[in-house]
Amino acid sequence: MRVGFIGLGSQGGPMARRIVEGGFDLTLWARRPESLEPYADTAATVAETPAELGAASDLVCLCVVGDDDVRQVLDGETGVLAGMAPGGIIAVHSTVHPDTCRELAGLAATKGLILIDAPVSGGGPAVEAGTLMVMVGGDEAVVEKVRPVFATYSDAIVHLGELGAGQVAKILNNLQFSANLGSAISTLQLGDALGIPRDRLCEVLNRGSATSKAIGSITMFGGTLEGLAPIAGALLQKDVRHAASLAEHASVPEGSVFAAADTALASMDHAR
């Protein structure tokens, strides 16, 4: 299978490297030439446009930031859809609204192409260890066809159902992570008021039954959200907004998870 990859950031970059090192024919495209420099020592080739990348690929993986970024690289005269041959598959690793995936799947279908959603979780270190989580929505036969590519960077490829289901799962995952950040910060602030040194309380929470990835992230950045805010603040805000939209559409009360998430987002806004 010939693979194209767009989105060579801190997570997508290691994913692309794992694909080419896994023996797949890989084509890359990036807006900035310097993003391609780290792959000069690999067998990957470089396309001049997303359309050229699409023409060279049976599967195109997208790991760009948000909904509009996905639309931009897919649509238009130089977009992936303009170059890819019928029967090709597009995997959206970006975290976007499920409706965006459905919209773009319909557009892809007019070209004889198939789009699945496959958002990921775990970050660069998980990619390098081959343990990235991939949450997939779409036709099961298509998912099985691309599974060997995903397996170059993931040992947890979870098929959640029809198109959009992977995005729903990822958005809920990020909502819960945001809520965990919010409750952790509230707990640390309470500890401050009760005279417990924050660094010592972080140690307790990390090693005790209250531990979570959120606690670990806060501890890594000195017991605050100041270091995490520039990295994840805007992305988590986007995903919590998507979660609120999904809850509203389903007529489901938002509940306490949103209140805790809002605490984290407010703290990150203040930190930035």
Q: Which residues pair with 27 in a beta bridge?
A: 4, 45
Q: Of 117, 132, 162, which closes a domain?
A: 162
Do the beta carbons of residue 44 and residue 28 sit within 8 Å?
yes
Q: What would the pLDDT profile of 132-154 be if each residue is shown by its tens digit? A: 999 999 999 999 999 999 999 99
Looking at the structure, do residues 158 and 189 belong to the same domain, yes or no?
A: no
Looking at the structure, do residues 190 and 66 belong to the same domain, yes or no?
A: no
Domain with residue 193: its CATH number is 1.10.1040.10
Looking at the structure, do residues 176 and 151 belong to the same domain, yes or no?
A: no
Looking at the structure, do residues 149 and 25 belong to the same domain, yes or no?
A: yes
Quickly tell me which residue has 């998430």 as its tokens: 261
Looking at the structure, do residues 107 and 39 belong to the same domain, yes or no?
A: yes
Looking at the structure, do residues 25 and 144 belong to the same domain, yes or no?
A: yes
The pLDDT score that the predictor gives to residue 49 is 97
The pLDDT score that the predictor gives to residue 207 is 95
Query: Which residues of the chain have a pLDDT value below 50?
Result: none
Which pTM was predicted? 0.93
The pLDDT score that the predictor gives to residue 272 is 67
* Count of structural domains, the chain: 2
Looking at the structure, do residues 158 and 204 belong to the same domain, yes or no?
A: no
Q: Of 162, 184, 206, which closes a domain?
A: 162
Question: Domain of 47?
Answer: 2-162
Domain with residue 64: its CATH number is 3.40.50.720
Looking at the structure, do residues 198 and 91 belong to the same domain, yes or no?
A: no
Q: Of 162, 177, 192, which closes a domain?
A: 162
Looking at the structure, do residues 19 and 135 belong to the same domain, yes or no?
A: yes
The pLDDT score that the predictor gives to residue 53 is 98
Number of H helices, E strands in the chain: 12, 9
Do the beta carbons of residue 67 and residue 96 sit within 8 Å?
yes
Looking at the structure, do residues 250 and 156 belong to the same domain, yes or no?
A: no
Quickly tell me which residue has 């270091």 as its tokens: 227
Which among 97, 73, 82 is positioned nearest to 12, based on CA atoms? 73
Catalytic residues: 170
Q: What would the pLDDT profile of 178-205 be if each residue is shown by its tens digit? A: 999 999 999 999 999 999 999 999 999 9
Looking at the structure, do residues 180 and 154 belong to the same domain, yes or no?
A: no
The pLDDT score that the predictor gives to residue 70 is 97
Do the beta carbons of residue 188 and residue 218 sit within 8 Å?
yes
Quickly tell me which residue has 């990859």 as its tokens: 5
The pLDDT score that the predictor gives to residue 269 is 87
Looking at the structure, do residues 122 and 157 belong to the same domain, yes or no?
A: yes
